[in-house]
Amino acid sequence: METERYRIEGDVLIITEGVDFIKDNEFKGMDKIKKVVLPSTVDSIGNSAFAGCKSLKEVNFPDGLTWIWEYAFSGCDKLKKILIPYSVERICSSAFSRCKGLKEAVVPSTTWIDEYAFSDCDALEKVIIRDVKPVSSAK
């Protein structure tokens, strides 16, 4: 299956380079997807965009992503670890709620995390808060 916005290769959903946001409910309930590849151009992930993708195990969150909206990944039972880039300003309420398999979340200290962003994540063992991104010294 292929559109201008994405293509599916087996169980991998690849969003087209140039797409700057994932629409509300755009991939909701696509339960055969195991991996999502987001391009560097994506800056926000809409409400319930991937909600109910029960087989989803892996998402690459690109640098440049700024917002993850309500229920964006709610009910993604097989998602085990997320690494949020420094560019993310806000993770909205219930964005990762009911991710029953989520064990670890790594989030920058500068990211605003709304109440209930990780509600009902029964397996969540640790949330690592990273300090501000180090500045490289150019010579």
Across-strand partners of 25?
Answer: none
Q: Mind listing the pLDDT tens digit for each residue in 36-87? A: 999 999 999 999 999 999 999 999 999 999 999 999 999 999 999 999 999 9
Q: Does residue 1 have a pLDDT over 60?
A: no
Residues 17 and 39: beta-carbon distance below 8 Å: yes
Q: Which of 35, 86, 92 is nearest to 62 (CA)?
A: 86
Q: What is the CA angle 25-15-27, rounded to 5?
A: 20
Position 86 scores a pLDDT of: 95
Q: Which of 95, 76, 3 is nearest to 36 (CA)?
A: 76
The rounded percent of the chain whose pLDDT value lies above 70 is 92
